[in-house]
Amino acid sequence: MEPMSRPDEPETDGRRKRRSGAKYLLGLTTCLVILGGTGVVYFHDYSRADTPPAPAAAAAALPQVVASHPLEQDLDKRLGFLGQFSAVDRVELRAQVGGTLTEIDFKDGDIVKAGQLLFVIDPRPYQIELDEAKAAYETATARLALANRELYRAQALVRGSAGTVEDVDQRISDERGAQAAVDDASARIRDAQLDLEHSRITAPFTGRIGDHQVSIGNLIAGSRAATSPTTLLATIVSLDPIHLDFDMSEADYIAFSAYRAQQKGALNDQVQLALTGETQYAHDGVLDFVDNAIDRSSGTIHARATVPNPDLILTPGEFARLRVAVTAPAPTLLVPDASVLPDQSNYIVLTVSPDGVVVPKPVTPGDMRGGLRVIQSGLSPNDLVITDGLAYAAPGSKVRVQNGDIRFASAQQ
């Protein structure tokens, strides 16, 4: 061991080198202790050049995606519209006779049946008119019987040369006048009966009634003449079936007309409906009316479907989405909606080429069918579409593919 130098001993080059070597050995020892404490042994052969990793390790490093060929189904092409329900029948209940309102026999908003009593106007004045008409009829009938007997006697006297022809003519005239009086009295009876019946206002059909516009005790103005002022009592609308009104654009109408010309059948197309808040088109209807002219100001044509409403859940004024078929069923490609990605103003689908490279393809998407997105153009049945792992699939990069499965939900067709 080298003897310790004295503090006042001058430092030589040899001493400086020995001290530097000691520091190097101390640092190396410290590094080995730290590495040994962590359980890691690092060794690098600087005599050999770096070699690439094994192929299996490189493949394991590639991101994995799930991909499948587009699902192909025979589907018809449909057009979607927004429609609004309206009542098949709507009536304003107005009085046909005047008087004091004495009864209201419904609750506002009730479903009323055809023939159900709704309002009663004081019937006593009309009962009096009917009794007077019946009395007038009895009087006229008695005069007709007398005129018939007098005509018979006059004719008998003429046959016995005891009477004159002029007397017979007079009796015939009296008999005809008496018959006219009977007919007039009979008509007055029917008129009085009609007024009496109109004092009881009933529902003309089954439907929902609105709120009453008058109260008991109000004096009602009524008339059977359409030009006379009358009092509005309430409104009633039918509910089953119900109309769904919508408008077609000119382009949609041309496509629809071309399809109808190919079918050469009656206008009885089935339509599917989805109410507000519904995601599935769970209601059916029949397209039964298309107007005869396109509106010049809007460029649309009015159309209408009739929808059964046995549960009375559909209400006039409510909105609904509907779909109308415009082509016959044809092979159609479908992919999950999440696989269709927006690209500025266009849409793309990420596919995988045979060598595992991600290739974006511009597509034209259509509507949703069976829970899947219709692809109108841009894809072929042989394309491998990425359905899961889109976050790891950068265009131009390589990926590992796991086979997936695209399924059609018939309940959402």
Give pLDDT tens digits for 220-239: 898 887 667 889 999 999 99
What pLDDT shows up at residue 371?
A: 85
Calculate mean pLDDT across residues 314-341: 89
Answer whether residue 347 shows pLDDT above 90.
yes
The beta-strand segments (E) located in 36-170 are: 64-68, 71-75, 78-87, 90-94, 99-104, 111-112, 117-121
What pLDDT shows up at residue 236?
A: 95
Confidence of residue 21 (pLDDT cuts 50, 70, 90): very low
| Nearest alpha-carbon partner for 397 in 405, 387, 389, 407 | 389
Would you say 303 and 246 are in contact if contact means Cβ atoms under 8 Å apart?
A: yes
Calculate mean pLDDT across residues 357-363: 93
> Taken in order 343, 347, 351, 353, is the CA torsion positive or negative?
negative
The per-residue pLDDT for range 42-100, each reduced to its tens digit, is 334 434 445 555 555 555 588 899 999 999 988 888 888 999 999 999 999 999 899 99
Would you say 374 and 368 are in contact if contact means Cβ atoms under 8 Å apart?
A: yes
The domain spans of the chain are 64-75+330-412, 80-86+240-325, 93-237
Which phi and psi (to 5°) does residue 88 adopt? -65, -45
CATH superfamily, with its number, for domain 80-86+240-325: Efflux pump adaptor protein, beta barrel domain (2.40.30.170)
The per-residue pLDDT for range 275-312, each reduced to its tens digit, is 988 878 888 899 889 999 999 999 999 999 999 999 88
Calculate mean pLDDT across residues 167-185: 86
The per-residue pLDDT for range 180-201, each reduced to its tens digit, is 998 999 999 999 999 999 999 9
Residue 370 to residues 75, 114, 407, 408: CA-CA distances in angstroms? 10, 42, 8, 5
The per-residue pLDDT for range 104-159, each reduced to its tens digit, is 999 999 999 999 999 999 999 999 999 999 999 999 889 888 888 888 877 788 77
Answer whether residue 12 shows pLDDT above 50.
no
What CA–CA distance (Å, rounded) separates 375 from 378? 7
Query: Per CATH, is 64-75+330-412 categorized as 3.60.40.10?
Result: no
What pLDDT shows up at residue 39?
A: 39
The CATH class of the 93-237 domain is: mainly beta
Least confident among 60-64, 333-337, 378-382? 60-64
With tokens 């590992």, the residue in question is 400
What CA–CA distance (Å, rounded) separates 280 from 265? 28
- State the CB neighbour count (10 A cutoff) for residue 392: 15
What pLDDT shows up at residue 234?
A: 94
- State the CB neighbour count (10 A cutoff) for residue 209: 22
Q: Which residues, other chains included, contact 145 with Cβ-Cβ below 8 Å and sequence gap of 6+?
A: none
